[in-house]
Chains A and B, each alone.
Chain A
């Protein structure tokens, strides 16, 4: 299999370049990550993140043949050769396929990704009806892999001010949570040309989410909640 990988070494500081690798596939090679791990054995200077190798941790997001995805759940049989691997678009590159996620996580923290409820807690737990719980489906599954935000043109142009699809999906997850009492504050924070309204509903985010979630749908939901709140 022919693979072209984006290489950048901060020590030399030389311009990033594409390096070609050819590797024979073995019977155990099912996903792109399998091949990457074997390449790493051959060339240990090659850097990428990975951990769970089953689409749970979200650490091996990268640009695969022009689209963002997780190497560990991308089947080799679906890939056209040469397989071109680059780091997540728009993110500062630390080394090879490893990018700096500082800003991405800063946006995540900014939306207060935890339940806010100052009422005295009941003796056991805060209960939800099945319907209330149902509203969290399609939101809580996000693994913060950044595939979506790094595929969003609005995020490319304003990564410092636009929260991006991942952060907004998480924001909506707490806005619709029946146990959270800070809905009004959350909405007020998002009512901003940059934080929320940079989104033009391009839906690139939904196109690439490896968990099949729809950040654009969540953003649509936030905007409608805002309309409801102000009318």
Chain B
């Protein structure tokens, strides 16, 4: 099995980049269009079902994109296998934890609302 595949990572990096650009545009629209972003408006938007889903997707895309980028940096600069695997492992665990935590937070808000 090829552990470090080539094209898939490259494509995912670009796909997640496009998704992030879309989210960025959404965020900008949120700040620029409509009434100022008060706590009420923000809370209502973020804890609606589409809002919560978008936020979780945003963090998933950020983590995926960050993971591929971090992996590239590690492949370039860290050549000893044990060091490489530990650094990659730590990054993977942290990124995974962030996504899980955001997902749980948003889920909690959703169930509070309904």
Contacts and interface: CB of A to CB of B under 8 A. Distances in A.
A and B touch in the complex (CB under 8 A): yes
B6 A158 contact: no
Interface in B59-90: 72, 75-77
A157 B77 contact: yes
B58 interface: no
A30 B5 CA distance: 49
Given A223-B10, A227-B11, A193 B5 contact: yes
Interface in B17-40: none
B2 interface: yes
B77 A197 contact: no
Contacts, number: 37
A194 B6 CA distance: 8
B9 interface: yes
Contacts of B7: 191, 197, 223, 226-227, 230
The A contact surface, by secondary structure, is loop
Tier of interface size on chain B: 10 to 19
A177 B9 CA distance: 28
A198 B2 contact: no
A124 interface: no
A227 B10 CA distance: 10
Contacts of B6: 190-197
Tier of interface size on chain A: 10 to 19
B37 to A, nearest CB: 37
Interface string A190-231: 111111111010000000000000000000000100110010
A198 B10 contact: no
Contacts of B5: 191-193
B1 to A, nearest CB: 13
Contacts of A158: 75-76
Nearest to B4: A193
B11 A154 contact: no
A96 B5 CA distance: 39
B9 A197 contact: yes
Contacts of A194: 4, 6, 75
13 contacts: A153-B76, A157-B76, A157-B77, A158-B75, A191-B5, A192-B4, A192-B6, A193-B4, A194-B6, A195-B6, A196-B6, A197-B7, A198-B75
Interface of B: 2, 4-7, 9-11, 72, 75-77
Interface of A: 153-154, 157-158, 190-198, 200, 223, 226-227, 230
